[in-house]
Amino acid sequence: MKQWFERLIEGAIFFSGLASILFVGLIFFFLLKEGLSLFQTVNIGSFLFGLNWYPISEPAQFGILPLILGSLLVTFGAIVIAVPLGLAAAIYVAEVAPPWLREILKTGIELLAAIPSIVLGFIGIITLAPFLKTIFNLPSGLTALAGSIMLAFMAMPTIVSIIEDSISCVPKNYKEGSLALGATRWQTIYRVTLPAASSGILAAIMLGIGRVIGETMAVLMITGNAAVMPTSLLQPVRTLTATIAAEMGEAVTGSEHYYALFAIGIVLFIFSFIINLLADIALHRGPKRSRVRK
């Protein structure tokens, strides 16, 4: 009876995993079915590298390079802000904070991840955008920088949680050996703990990037939604996700505009797949490949 029950559980787990793969495959197939129809009339090169996104003009122009660069600029700014702060916070929670405070901080960090993105976008419009407008003397505070700051705040719970878990999983004998050789606590953290947890740290960064590049509502609300070539963080931009969210409701089913939005979805799917694949590779490098800095 027990053996039969275990086989039943194993079968259920196997089919659950198979169903997950099947659903992702079906989603990608649906995107391909709708998105590739665009390239019957639009050249793929002009779509990926075109400088103008005017889907309802005559003739329509479907260049998404400004949207790609806008997404990358906002993502880069968010990661530059989130990674140092997230790494410092994770080190403090895992290595410095007393046990009673550590549990409070971990709970608080996990609760931050539960805040809806639309609420953060609203906060960004009310507080962050006017602040940036005043500080930098801008015509509008709805800029790529506002999006980067808000997305950094959204990515930090993921980054801090994964890095903290990676640091906590470093074998204690690594730290004890370093301290026994005369290293200080901070030397041990810098030269022993962090190199040993490097695969988890890299995975946290990659998953943080995936969290940021796929965000929709916050960037739709606070980046200005200007489909122009970005030159700095202090100008309005438009991202791939914001374009889909803003225009899908107005696109005529079966039109070039409709198919172009699905083609953008294909580009986003490929970006997300690559990022998650790299994160998975980094996460499964395993402790055997971790190297302690000499």
Query: Is residue 243 situated within a structural domain?
Result: yes
Query: Is residue 127 situated within a structural domain?
Result: yes
- Cα–Cα distances (Å) from 137 to 126, 130, 145, in that order, read 17, 10, 14
Task: Please tell me the predicted confidence (pLDDT) of residue 74.
Answer: 93
Q: Which residues of 171-186 are buried (b: 16+ CB within 10 A; e: fewer)?
A: eeebbeebeeeebeee
Query: Is residue 77 situated within a structural domain?
Result: yes
Query: Is residue 21 situated within a structural domain?
Result: no
Give the CATH number for residue 142: 1.10.3720.10
Query: Is residue 30 situated within a structural domain?
Result: no
| pLDDT higher than 80, residue 133 | yes
d(CA 248, CA 257): 9
Angle at 206 between CA 200 and CA 208, to 5 degrees: 100
Closest among 152, 156, 157, 153 to 77, alpha carbons compared? 152
Q: Which two tokens stand for residue 111?
A: 């609760």
Closest among 22, 192, 24, 168 to 102, alpha carbons compared? 168
d(CA 231, CA 70): 9
Q: Are 260 and 45 in contact (CB under 8 A)?
A: no
33-73: per-residue pLDDT in tens? 888 888 888 889 999 998 889 888 888 889 999 999 999 99
Query: Is residue 154 situated within a structural domain?
Result: yes
Amino acid found at 241: T
User: 290 pLDDT band (50/70/90 cuts)?
Assistant: very low
Query: Is residue 238 situated within a structural domain?
Result: yes
In this prediction the pTM is 0.84
Task: Please tell me the predicted confidence (pLDDT) of residue 289.
Answer: 42
Q: Is the dihedral of CA 211, 216, 220, 226 positive or negative?
A: positive
**Domains held by the chain: number:** 1
154-201: per-residue pLDDT in tens? 889 889 988 998 898 888 888 888 888 888 888 888 888 888 888 888
d(CA 205, CA 79): 8
> To the nearest whole number, what is the mean pLDDT of the chain?
86
Q: Domain limits at 277?
A: 41-289
DSSP per-residue letters across 4-50: HHHHHHHHHHHHHHHHHHHHHHHHHHHHHHHHGGGGGTS-HHHHHH-
Query: Is residue 28 situated within a structural domain?
Result: no
Task: Please tell me the predicted confidence (pLDDT) of residue 293.
Answer: 43
